[in-house]
A and B are shown apart, each in its own frame.
Chain A
């Protein structure tokens, strides 16, 4: 049996804001809709930017991709700010308990020195890749105009900072919070041959001007090869080296990557399907960058899982690209 409390309802004049009603009809809208559509300034900008006098503020030409309406790109997760932080708060809670457990049980410090060294050389330097991704996504959030697009990149920017911080904390667990292991790990990033193609790639990404090129290379191509290679294949390999407990500390990244494919897949599919020009442009960028991403990851794969694992992730990426009408240059799906 259910009980029902009677409440008074008052007839409204309208059900939602006009911009929302123009898109979805005059009916009650979702929180995601009222927070994510048509919030931004779009017309009658007063002054040209001193930092880019050829273009206006909120200028659609900051990418060569053309969309009749950028709001065709939406977030399948329906993240507005509150939904985003609510979801991440749960994820961080799990991560927190894993870190506390590893710390309490000395799961990392009891590893052989050689294994600890491997973690500092092969895993922790990825925090620098995360910082690059943080910067790239912040740029995109400032350049993309539609709220649905800009906010996904802002969330990605803060996610990347957070994941860089989790990687840093692995080193801090190892060195007893002195920073010594972080210093050591950073010398690999700066000087070890193994990391130089990756560091060059990340620095090259930092000077890409076109924000959609940047989101494609960073969030689809680089992440698409790197996350499965590191957090699935290398994770298993670390297990074979006796460091299976580290897996507890990278759970966040696996969950995150699984989730992030939902919005990135949806975005490239929508943008590629909009017109031939877009699809051709995306293809040119894939052709230009995918093999460089592959090459940047080669030394890491060779030092750990072997190239087969990287080729396997490359094949997975090519399947994703194919669904957006794009072809990978390396392996055919």
Chain B
């Protein structure tokens, strides 16, 4: 026993209150207690080198989190009591919330499950505690998001069956397969994927657009959640950075494995963010910033500095970063165009931007919008006004990896799809890009298992032989209510009634004194 008589400093005290509770087992083999630490090839020489990303004992955690929750729920209550949903900029905004609740909130829950698991899998007690606190934070996020959206669900369509839809609806397999990929991976890849690539590198491109969008559009419930989650997110980012540095420092053989994961998860994350790009540029009536600007600040500048910092470990920036940088002027327009023509099968509405929004897009995308996208939008708008609102009745080719329709274009030619295909064990597989094709080639046995929604519809596994049946019966999307064009939708009608512009046909939504 070491003789110590000096008062512990904060760092040592925290270690005594966490990792010193663990011990070297003698009755069971260590590899039986922690069976999942080896198979990924990551070598950990000394877990005691782990630096705690934050030092929060449980009593402090309960105290600070309870204070945040108390304030948050007071605001949710006031929001509902005062019908705060009537104060948003425009009902089109709520479509961003529909995307959020069905696409993002289920990922918070999947993160809770994933972190609870890795909070058990690691043999380093410091890392386990950090992951467990993230697990319970993610449970918090998933639950407070249900509560934040609860009032919107009562007054707008498309928010009513999010987790059911997350498992089934064609475009929601984009976020679902992203997190399934991470959760089915080993614990070190899970942390590299989620804590580092997602929570650290890309978080400002997912979380911030929704929360700032809420702030700019009068949505007090959502923005209050965002403010409340900020300090949780700061902890999560610190964990992400600590994880990557720790693994890289532990053994030089870890470097190429981590590099491959950074390449993979950058690309998968970037593809997932296409949905956010379109939300920012098209679904927010009051714009925060363009997707192009957001990508430049949060990825090209911040990410550039980060990867510069990681150079000393032998890490280079993610592969195909140049393709992603060039795509920032295209992805949101390409994604919106795709959703516009397939919104007969979505839980949210689409529409063509108004003239001043198109002027904003021209200004923000001087090289691309007028040249490639404005004409398409004006054409569709004209068609709509002549009673021929365009819906594409043929289902799209999906990418085998990211599962987004193959709609992205070559880096040097935005008029040509960057479609790729290969044969693997006699079967043909298609991809949206070289990035996704490489990911497949590294782990084909994983990606051939994917539940591709369009294929599943054609295989007859989605409860119907035609799209409207699938959409209504299997997706639980109410036809003519949750889906299709915004203009003329029940949401649109109710909004005009709320704003006193046009009374609703039915009297059921009339205001009455309590």
Q: Which residues of A approach B to under 8 Å, CB–CB?
A: 6-19, 31, 34-36, 38-51, 57-58, 80-82, 85-86, 88-89, 91-93, 95-96, 127-128, 130-131, 134-135, 138-139, 141-143, 147, 150-151, 154-155, 157-159, 161-162, 164-166, 168-169, 172, 176-180, 182-184, 186-187, 189-190, 199-200, 203-204, 206-207
Chain A CB within 10 A, most for which of B17, B21, B22, B511: B21
CB neighbours (8 Å) of A43 from chain B are 167-168
Supply 17 further A-B pairs (C-beta < 8 A) apart from A50-B186, A138-B117, A150-B113.
A9-B512, A10-B155, A11-B510, A17-B162, A31-B147, A35-B146, A39-B163, A41-B176, A46-B173, A46-B176, A47-B447, A50-B446, A138-B128, A142-B120, A157-B116, A186-B20, A203-B26
Are B120 and A135 in contact, with the CB atoms below 8 A? yes
Partner of B21, one of A34, A93, A131, A177: A131
The answer to whether A88 touches B167 (Cβ under 8 A) is no
What's the Cα separation between A180 and B3 when bound, in Å? 7
Q: A46-B181, A50-B186, A168-B17 are in contact. Are A16 and B150 (CB under 8 A)?
A: yes
- Which B residues lie at the A interface, using CB under 8 A? 1-8, 12-13, 16-18, 20-23, 25-28, 32-33, 35-36, 39, 57-59, 61-63, 65-67, 69-70, 72-73, 81-83, 86, 106, 109-110, 112-114, 116-117, 119-121, 125, 128-129, 132-133, 135-136, 139-140, 142-144, 146-147, 150, 153-157, 159-164, 166-168, 173, 176-177, 180-181, 183-187, 446-447, 449-451, 456, 476, 494, 498, 508-514
Report A-chain residues with C-beta under 8 Å of the C-beta of B510: 11
Residues in chain B near residue A154, CB distance under 8 A:
112, 116, 132, 135-136, 139
**8 closest cross-chain pairs (CB), A and B:** A162-B58, A89-B66, A142-B117, A12-B154, A142-B116, A35-B143, A141-B116, A131-B21
Q: Which residues of the partner chain B approach A48 to less than 8 Å between Cβ atoms?
A: 184, 449
Whether the Cβ atoms of A180 and B5 lie closer than 8 Å is: yes
CB pair B13–A177 under 8 Å, yes or no, is yes
Residues in B neighbouring A159, C-beta threshold 8 A: 58
Q: With the chains together, A49 CA to B57 CA distance in Å?
A: 32
Partner of A161, one of B28, B73, B132, B139: B132
CB distance from A113 to the nearest CB of B (A): 16
Cβ B154 vs Cβ A15 within 8 A = yes
Across the interface, do A46 and B180 meet the contact criterion of CB distance under 8 Å? yes
Residue of B4, B13, B23, B162 with highest tally of chain A CB at under 10 A: B23
Choose among A17, A96, A131, A151 the residue that contacts B139 (Cβ–Cβ < 8 A).
A151
Q: Which residues of B contact A177 (CB under 8 A)?
A: 7-8, 13
**How far is A239 from B5 in the complex, measured between Cα atoms in Å?**
29
15 contacts between A and B (CB under 8 A): A12-B154, A13-B509, A31-B73, A39-B142, A41-B180, A50-B39, A51-B35, A86-B66, A128-B22, A138-B120, A138-B135, A178-B8, A180-B4, A199-B26, A204-B27
Question: Is B13 a contact of A85 with CB atoms below 8 Å?
Answer: no
Distance of A195 from chain B, by nearest CB (Å): 11
Q: How many inter-chain residue pairs (CB < 8 Å) link A and B?
A: 295
Question: What residues of chain A lie closer than 8 Å to B168, measured between beta carbons?
Answer: 43-44
Task: Give the most central of A16, A35, A41: most B CB within 10 Å.
Answer: A41
- Interchain CA distance A128-B446 in the complex, whole Å: 39
Inter-chain contact A138/B132, CB cutoff 8 Å = yes
Residues of chain B with a CB closer than 8 A to A141's CB: 112-113, 116, 135
CB atoms of A41 and B110 under 8 A apart: yes
Contacts of A51 in B (CB 8 A): 35-36, 39, 121, 186-187
Q: How far apart are A44's CB and chain B's nearest CB, in angstroms?
A: 5
CB distance from B348 to the nearest CB of A (A): 15
Which residues of the other chain, A, contact B180 by a CB distance below 8 angstroms?
41, 45-47, 57
Contact call A40/B509, Cβ cutoff below 8 A: no
B155 pairs with A81, CB closer than 8 A:
no
A81 lies within 8 A of B136 (CB):
yes
CA distance A18 to B476 in the complex (A): 9
The one of A47, A151, A169, A199 that contacts B184, using a Cβ cutoff of 8 Å: A47
CA distance A80 to B147 in the complex (A): 11
Q: Which residues of A contact B66 (CB under 8 A)?
A: 85-86, 88-89
Query: In the complex, what distance in Å separates the CA atom of A46 from the CA atom of B443?
Result: 14
Whether A17 lies near B7 (C-beta < 8 A) is: no
Are A157 and B132 in touch, CB under 8 angstroms?
A: yes
* Inter-chain contact A82/B69, CB cutoff 8 Å: yes
Q: Name the residue on B nearest A88 (C-beta).
A: B62
Q: How far is the CA of A205 from the CA of B157 in the complex (A)?
A: 48
Chain A residue contacts of B23, Cβ below 8 A: 128, 186, 189-190, 199
Contact A172 B16 (CB under 8 A): yes
Contacts of A10 in B (CB 8 A): 83, 86, 155, 498, 509, 511
Q: Name the residue of chain B whose CB is nearest to the CB of A168.
A: B17
Give the CA-CA distance A36 to B140 in the complex, in Å: 11
Q: In the bound complex, how far is the Cα of B25 from the Cα of A199, in angstroms?
A: 9
A17 touches B153 (CB 8 A): yes
Whether B449 contacts A46 by the Cβ 8 Å rule is yes
B511's partner among A8, A58, A134, A204 (CB-CB below 8 A) is: A8
Q: Knowing A158-B58, A180-B3, A203-B33, say if A82 contacts B73 (CB, 8 Å).
A: yes
> What chain B residues lie within 8 Å of A8 (beta carbons)?
83, 511-514
Q: How far is the CA of A43 from the CA of B163 in the complex (A)?
A: 10
List of B residues within 8 angstroms of A164 by Cβ: 21
- Establish whether residues A142 and B119, one from each chain, have CB atoms under 8 Å apart when the complex forms: yes
- Given A9-B514, A11-B509, A41 contacting B163 (CB threshold 8 A): yes
Q: Could you say which residues of chain A place their CB within 8 Å of the CB of B26?
A: 190, 199, 203
Q: Given A6-B514, A35-B147, A141-B116, A81–B140 Cβ distance below 8 Å?
A: yes
Q: Which residues of B contact A46 (CB under 8 A)?
A: 173, 176-177, 180-181, 184, 449-451
- CB B37 to nearest CB in A, in angstroms, measures 10
The answer, among B62, B113, B164, for a CB contact under 8 Å with A92, is: B62
CA A92 – CA B58 in complex, angstroms?
9
Task: Tell me the complex Cα distance, A50–B445, Å.
Answer: 11
Q: Measured between C-beta atoms, what is the minimum distance from A58 to chain B in Å? A: 7
Distance, CA A182 to CA B18, complexed state (A): 12
* B128 in contact with A135 (CB, 8 Å): yes
* B132 adjacent to A158 (CB under 8 Å): yes
Alpha-carbon distance between A46 and B143 when the two chains are bound, in angstroms: 24
Q: Are B59 and A92 in contact (CB under 8 A)?
A: yes
